[in-house]
């Protein structure tokens, strides 16, 4: 409405993300892989999942669904890109233990089901710790303290644009 009246779009100043999975939220620095713990791909947080259903942490578009289904990229309405990387060394599973519920180009709302993962099968061959990384430039992030989280409900991160 304001755009029609004044010719301006309302600028989004921050986004609040919800947990993409139920489990324990931990600092990104606890991920036992330097690509994530040293923030080479970007800052973020991580999760030790206790359930295998992964949901969108923010509303936006699926911009990347890896063929191995272990990672998914979402571009939010504000234009920020996020990567959910389910587990470590899971690319080598070649999709085994993963089922996608979305495809590249789909629009999703925070809490929509993205991927189901068989955590027991995956944990036999890989680690299940799951980083959520901001791969875009942002002003700052405010992560909540480590805690038990519920997918699609618990607010875990505020991204300041």
Is residue 73 within 8 A of residue 135, CB to CB? The reply is yes
Closest CA to 69 of 85, 53, 51: 85
CA dihedral 159, 84, 30, 154 (to 10 degrees): 60
70 in catalytic set: no
Q: Indicate which residue of 22, 65, 71, 85 is catalytic.
A: 85
Query: Strands 147-149 and 23-27, how do they pair?
Result: antiparallel
What is the DSSP secondary structure assignment for residue 55, as one 8-state letter?
Answer: E
Contacts of 145 (CB under 8 A, 6+ apart): none
CA dihedral 102, 65, 13, 8 (to 10 degrees): -80
What is the DSSP secondary structure assignment for residue 130, as one 8-state letter?
Answer: E
**Positions marked catalytic:** 85
């Amino acid at each position: 409405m304001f755009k029609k009246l004044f010719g301006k779009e309302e600028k989004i100043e921050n986004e609040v993300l919800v947990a993409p999975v139920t489990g324990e939220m931990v600092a990104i620095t606890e991920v036992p892989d330097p690509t994530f713990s040293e923030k080479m791909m970007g800052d973020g947080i991580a999760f030790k999942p206790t359930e295998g259903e992964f949901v969108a942490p923010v509303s936006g578009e699926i911009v990347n669904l890896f063929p191995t289904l272990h990672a998914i990229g979402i571009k939010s309405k504000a234009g920020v890109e996020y990567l959910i990387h389910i587990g470590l060394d899971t690319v080598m599973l070649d999709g085994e233990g993963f089922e996608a519920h979305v495809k590249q180009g789909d629009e999703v709302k925070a809490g929509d089901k993205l991927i189901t993962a068989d955590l027991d099968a995956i944990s036999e061959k890989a680690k299940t710790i799951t980083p959520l990384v901001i791969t875009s430039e942002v002003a700052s992030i405010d992560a909540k303290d480590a805690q038990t989280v519920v997918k699609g409900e618990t607010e875990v991160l505020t991204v300041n644009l």
